[in-house]
Amino acid sequence: MPLSDVACRNAKPLAKAQKLADAGGLYLYVSTAGGKLWRCDYRFVGQRRTASFGAYPHVGLAEARRRRDELKAQIADGIDPGAAKKAAKKNAKLAAGNSFETIAREWFALKLADWVDSYSTRLMSRLEADVFPPLGARPISAIEPPEILDAVRKVEGRGAVELAKRELQTIGQIFRFAIASGRATRDPTRDLVGALKSPGRVKHRRALPIAELPGFLRALDAYDGEPATRLALKLMVLTFVRTSELRAAQWAEFEGLDGAEPLWRIPAERMKMRFEHLVPLAPQAVTALTELREYSGRSAFLFPSPGKEGFMSNNTMLFAMYRMGYHGRATVHGFRGVASTWLNETGYSTDWIERQLAHDERNEVRGAYNSAQYLAGRRAMMAVWSEQISNFAATVDQTQG
């Protein structure tokens, strides 16, 4: 007599294990401890074997019968159910090892040494938030272009058009890594060229026209806010480093301020790419640093602050420029463009200028080797730039006189 769900539910453990038969070799095995397991006896090529279908009630009576019928169908087709189950488990394990997330994390670990911590943290956060939920568990070789497009369009739908484009590029890098390691044969992101919205015209950070620099220097000299902020802006003009590089600067990074060749050595971990940046310092910059010592006290930072980071906040210099009347007219970052324009127009080597701006070296090995490249020429160039700043300031003073 076939089993019923009530009979399965009410089965109690006895002193000896029980087999409650259903039909077609299927039965519920009730252990002396009370465990209830579905099993099915069958024969394949003359040998008696037993298949396990899971525990009751997690696997119900109807599901157990369905699995029995599948097993019988395999036998009828000449397939060994035991061997088929082992192959399925092996394939599932391989699929898990070849999932998009597994391979993405391998790629991430391989590239980690090339990135600064802040970039790698942001990148993994984006993958975990936007990419792994829809794609992570999928075998990488089975992922098709529409799946990827759907994932990045959700990012695009938040208004993050540029981020969606970057995430698509990252997904493409992961696929190319999978191809190189033999776990994929094609990069489906190549089929999505032009499928995302254009981020629109790039809005460059506004740079002050060189003709307005004397007026800015006059306003800077008259600035009545924090002296350290005034000196920070002055150092930005003189060195044209990135804002983040100046805000987080530490006194230990400066060498030879009392000598003939003072130098600011910005360590690799604070740079946009993983190699240090050398900034030769003109006398005007050394003078500003000497004055700044008075305001930084015993802090390791040039611009200490009680905030979470411990140094000047991101908007301090920008708000100072607003106060000086430059809201919408210029940005702090824009001084890099001012210096670059003047130096290029003056005829200095583009290589010198680009190295001084610490622009990305596509060949990272070469970049690390060349951190001191053109240093003598750049020192002379920075001296001329700083002298020009002094001349601008002197011109303002003469005009006022």
Q: What's the pLDDT tens digit per position in 57-104?
A: 999 999 999 999 999 999 888 888 888 887 777 666 655 568 999 999
200 vs 259, more confident: 259
Average pLDDT over residues 210-224: 90
Kindly report, as residue ranges, where domains of CATH 3.30.160.390 are found in the chain.
5-80
Token match 């394939």: residue?
91
Check whether the bond before 57 is cis (ω within 30° of 0). yes
242 is catalytic: yes
User: Rg of the chain's alpha carbons, rounded to an integer?
Assistant: 34
Buried b / exposed e over 167-189, threshold 16 CB at 10 Å, is: bbebbbebbbbbeeeebbeebbb
- Mean pLDDT, rounded, for 40-59: 90
Distance CA 126, CA 104 (A): 12
Q: What is the pLDDT of residue 371?
A: 64
Catalytic residue among 333, 355, 378, 379: 333
Residue 209: per-residue pLDDT: 86
| Mean predicted confidence (pLDDT) in 198-202 | 55
- 14 CB burial (10 A radius; 0-12, 13-18, 19+): exposed
Look at residue 15 in the predicted model and tell me its pLDDT. Answer: 92
* Fold exhibited by the domain 5-80: Double Stranded RNA Binding Domain (3.30.160)
Q: Which has the higher per-residue pLDDT, 196 or 107?
A: 107
How far apart CA 86 and CA 22 sit, in angstroms, is 26
Helix (H) and strand (E) counts in the chain: 17, 7
Tell me, what's the pLDDT at 273?
Answer: 60
Q: What is the phi/psi pair of residue 223, to 5°?
A: -60, 130
Q: How many residues does the chain have?
A: 401
Which residue(s) pair with 40 in the sheet? 26, 51
Q: Give the pLDDT of residue 368.
A: 44
Q: What integer best gives the mean pLDDT of the chain?
A: 87
Locate the DSSP E strands across 259-390: 263-266, 277-280
Distance CA 99, CA 97 (A): 6
Starting from the edge strand earliest in sequence, which strands make up the sheet with 263-266, in order?
254-255, 263-266, 277-280
Global pTM value: 0.52
Distance CA 140, CA 184 (A): 7
Distance between CA 294 and CA 290 in Å, rounded? 8
Architecture of domain 210-400: Orthogonal Bundle (1.10)
Given a cut of 70, whether residue 212 has pLDDT beyond it is yes
The one-letter amino acid code at 109 reads A
Catalytic residue status for 336: yes
- How many whole angstroms from its chain centre is CA 232? 29
Which residues belong to CATH 1.10.443.10 in the chain? 210-400
Fill in the DSSP letter of residue 304.
B
Catalytic residue among 85, 153, 176, 272: 272
Of the residues 242, 277, 355, 378, which is catalytic? 242
- Enumerate the CATH 1.10.150.130 domain ranges in the chain, comma separated: 100-192
pLDDT in tens, 346-392: 899 888 998 899 875 444 434 444 567 789 999 999 999 999 998 88
Active site residue 327: no
Q: Other CB atoms closer than 10 Å to residue 301's CB: what's the count?
A: 18
Whether 161 has a pLDDT exceeding 80, the answer reads: yes
Nearest-10 Cα torsion for 16, 21, 24, 25: 0
What pLDDT is recorded for position 71?
92
pLDDT (mean) for 312-335: 91
* Cα separation, 333 vs 244, whole angstroms: 10
Strand 36-44 relative to strand 47-55, pairing: antiparallel
272 classed as catalytic: yes
Task: Return the CATH architecture of domain 100-192.
Answer: Orthogonal Bundle (1.10)
